[in-house]
Structure 1
Amino acid sequence: MGATDLANLSDKLMLTTVVLYIVAMVSYAADLGFGRRRAAAEAAEAADAGTEAKAKVLVGAGGADAPAGGSASGTGTVKADADADAGGEEEAARRVEWARLAVLLSVLGWAAHVGTLVTRAWAAERWPWANMYEFLTAIALAAVTAFLFVMWRYKARFLGAFVMLAAVVALGVANIWLYDGIGPVVPALNSYWIAIHVSAAIVATGAFTVGGASTILYLLKARQEARAAAGGAGFLSHLPGADALDRLSLRVTMFAFPIWTAAIIMGAIWADEAWGRYWGWDPKEIWSFITWIVYAAYLHARATAGWKGRKAAILSLVGFAALMFNFFGVNYMFSGLHSYA
């Protein structure tokens, strides 16, 4: 198979990936929607059970009239309970089907996503993250990979709709505005360090994306819980508690931060080999360091000052915003040695 055929196969696998991710995103959303309905149904059933128990107590206190009325009531209660159980089982089965479909499509999309980069690398005979199209495609793959791990490790399937949305948007931007044909790399990138430094940056960025999604959901969930305490209700009632989302964001950030640190250190070593200096105050270097500083402050504040909740979440989002600006803003707004856009 020639380079042109491999490049065409890569483009077709990219289209397959996007379609699978879109359907997976819809399936995750449906899973969340049915979860909300099921929670509401369970709450209603619990309320009905309490009312029924109270009615039985009152009937029992009625003396001789109780058996005659109680028999008909008991028959109706059994029938109602059977109907409720059947409806609940049907709802649960439907929800499991949506969940299984979403996970299956995510795994299939992930496999097609890997194939997209592998075939492109094979066609170009180099590592497939030498331009913005390839880099953003790889970051989306890292984010989906991080989500699949978090879903398996922490039962965080609720993140699926949000991470898949981010992946679809990223791949859409990559294909519509950033697409670039297969070609040779610029001399500065023709090094084995691209497989080390850039790979670490991609993995860390993908993990930070999952952590950012968890942080945003935490803020929304905390607001919903406050409204619920005041007598209101929210559409996020089916998600885990705000504290659980806060802890999940912390765990993902603790995983990503050392990798981002290693990426910066390895980038400095590569810069010395390529340009004869470890640090040159290039815009990419500056914003990578700013991102590191913010995330370091976030972890330090949580570990020493006891920060958690809203204050920590805002600091985490500042770090994620710096990360996104480092990727998009620096590459298109500034000129420097790292401007490969």
Structure 2
Amino acid sequence: MSSTFLLIAFIVYALALLGFVIAVTGKKSVQEADPEGFAKRWGFIGFILTVIGFLCHVTFFFTRWAEGGHIPTSNMYEFMTFLGMMIVLAFIVVYLIYRTPALGVFAMPVSIIIIAYASVFPREVQPLIPALQSYWLKIHVTTAALGEAFFAVGFAAGLMYLLQNVNFGGTSKADRREQRGVEFTIFTLLMIISFVVAIFGFNAAGYKATFVSDVKMTDINNVEQVVKQNVEYVLPPIVKPYQSEQLEMKPFLGMTEPLFEAPSWMEGANAGRKFNTVIWSVLLGTLLYALIRLVVRKPLGRALQPTMRGIDSEDVDEIGYRAIAIGYPIFTLGALIFAMIWAHEAWGRFWGWDPKEVWALIVWLFYAVYLHLRLSRGWQGKKSAWLSVIGFLVVMFTLIGVNLVIAGLHSYSGT
């Protein structure tokens, strides 16, 4: 039942996005007698749909909690769906303050993409491992996710500001650098979208490849032993695990075996599969970006720029700053202070330089620098927007790259 509510929420979010798009693009029509009233009316419709979708999302959250007997934030599927819900909550809060429909055009897709990304992971309710059997799971994860959600809204506002103010017709070094930065940001979003579509596509086609590898494991007596472990691929294996044996592989475009083997420094049986995922994401993201460029026949940033006309740049700049200013203390509590307290209870130390801990600290320091430069050095406008965009890309690497590529104590969240 919980999955049904999530599906309904996803569909309603998509309809809400459509409402915000109509509010922004429809008011520019010369045939519209009351463009401002038109924008407000469709913006209100988009907002109401957002609230309805959020209520369905909350229902999903609590029904899954009842089904599993614990807060549903213990693996990638649960955490990413929860993060998507928190992004919508953060957007609702900011929208009630500023009433800017254009923000929904950029904030809602972030939530939609994250929910879609979550859906590629196993959805079964899993029992908690010992390290997660603590009330700190509720406190740490929820506050950290809410802080990151406000960073996502800041990212949306920052991207809006850049689309408004980057000179896409300029030929100077500075202009070209900014143009490439905006295109890279859009490419990153398209890469995640193409990965999600590919996973669903190959799953629907029933594609499967299986390899077996020798993996070193330590038992409860601290004795190291070598065991055989099967690794299953959903995406066709361009790269196979290091020193593995192929058990099964359905042909794909004439390819009956992987093109090459993962390097020896990629430890773990799943390292090759994760590397394969990264390769496919880049390839498919590049293909999708190229196809869209072929259709619009111009850089995507330049193609999106007309949608920003008529929106006050100072308001967008203020929205981005306020969102990050709200999210930073919440993230500080959740991702650092509460996390260290829980780490001491679970592992007997406050800090251990685990990859997830290190990247959470990097995120915290980055946004500390953002606030310092904004408040003390007057970095407003374009400089502030670039920092908000880069900061959220770092957040996404912390959530996706660290969990799925870098091994550590938090690796269980990637299962």
Q: Normalising by structure 2, report the TM-score.
A: 0.64
Q: How does 1:144-293 map to 2 (within 5 A)?
A: 144-175=88-119, 177-223=120-166, 234-263=305-334, 264-293=336-365
CA distance in structure 1 between the aligned counterparts of 2:99 and 2:36, rounded to whole angstroms? 17
1:314 Cα offset (Å): 1.9
1:189 counterpart letter in structure 2: L
Residue 135 of structure 1 and its aligned partner are, at CA, apart by: 0.4
Note if contact 1:294-1:318 (Cα within 8 Å) is conserved in structure 2: no
1:224 to partner: Cα distance: 6.4
Instruction: Identify the residue that residue 121 of structure 1 maps to in structure 2.
Output: 65
Cα distance in 1 between the residues matched to 2:405 and 2:366: 21
* Partner deviation per Cα, 1:103-154 (whole Å, 9 max, x = no partner): 2211110110001111000111111111111100011111101111111111
TM superposition shift of 1:182: 0.8
Alignment of 1:1-341 (within 5 A): 9-37=1-29, 88-89=33-34, 95-175=39-119, 177-223=120-166, 234-263=305-334, 264-339=336-411, 340-341=413-414
| Contact 2:6 2:56 (8 Å CA) reproduced | yes
For 1:224 and 1:239, how far apart are their aligned partners in 2?
17
Secondary structure of the residue aligned to 2:28 is helix
CA deviation after TM superposition for structure 1 residue 252, in Å: 0.7
| Corresponding residue number in structure 2 for 1:69 | none
String of CA shifts for 1:20-43, please: whole Å, max 9, x gaps.
111111111111111222xx56xx
Which has more strand, going by share of residues? 2
TM-score (ref. length: structure 1): 0.77
Distance 2:168 2:348 in 1: 55
Alignment partners' CA distance in 2, 1:35 and 1:302: 33
Aligned residue in 2 for 1:45: none
How far apart are the structure 2 equivalents of 1:99 and 1:287?
37
Distance 1:196 1:188 in 2: 15
Structure ID, larger Rg: 1
Q: Give 1:94 shift.
A: 5.0
Tell me the SS of whatever aligns to 1:36.
coil
In the alignment, the residues of structure 2 paired with residue 307 and residue 97 of structure 1 have an alpha-carbon distance, to the nearest angstrom, of 35
Residues 1:139 and 1:302: Cα distance change in structure 2 (over 3 Å): same
CA distance, structure 2, for counterparts of residue 93 and residue 300 of structure 1: 39
Structure 2 unaligned blocks of 5 or more: 171-301
The Cα of 1:178 is off from its aligned counterpart by: 1.5
Q: Which runs of 5+ in 1 are unaligned?
A: 1-8, 42-86
Counterpart code for 2:322 = R
Kept in 2, the 8 Å contact 1:36–1:237? The answer is: no
Structure 1 residues 280, 15: CA separation in 2 closer, same or farther (over 3 Å shift)?
A: same
User: Is contact 1:17-1:113 (8 Å) kept?
Assistant: yes
Deviation, 1:316, is 2.3
State the secondary structure of the residue aligned to 2:57. helix
> Aligned in 2, Cα 1:114/1:335: closer, same or farther, shift over 3 Å?
same
Equivalents in 1 of 2:44, 2:410: separation in Å? 42
Distance apart, 1:225 and its partner CA: 10
Q: Which stretch shows the higher mean deviation, 93-102 or 21-30?
A: 93-102
Q: Distance in 1 between matches of 2:88 and 2:378?
A: 31
Once the two structures are TM-superposed, the CA of residue 101 in structure 1 deviates from its matched residue by 2.5
Per the alignment, do residues 174 and 211 of structure 1 end up closer, same or farther by CA in structure 2, a change over 3 Å counting? same
More helix by share: 1
Equivalent-residue separation in structure 2 for 1:325 and 1:240 (angstroms) = 30
Listed one character per residue, the Cα deviations across residues 134-193 of structure 1 (whole Å, up to 9, x for unaligned) are 100011111101111111111122211222211211111111x11320121111111000
List per-residue Cα deviations over 1:7-31 (Å, max 9, x = no partner): xx10111111111111111111111
CA deviation after TM superposition for structure 1 residue 95, in Å: 4.4
Deviation of the 1:248 alpha carbon: 1.1
| Mean Cα deviation higher: 120-129 or 303-312 | 303-312
CA pair 269-147 structure 1, distance change in 2 beyond 3 A: same
Does the Cα contact within 8 Å between 1:139 and 1:206 map onto a contact in 2?
A: yes
Calculate percent identity across the aligned residue pairs. 34
Cα-to-partner distance string for 1:292-314 (whole Å, 9 max, x where unaligned): 11100010011111211222222
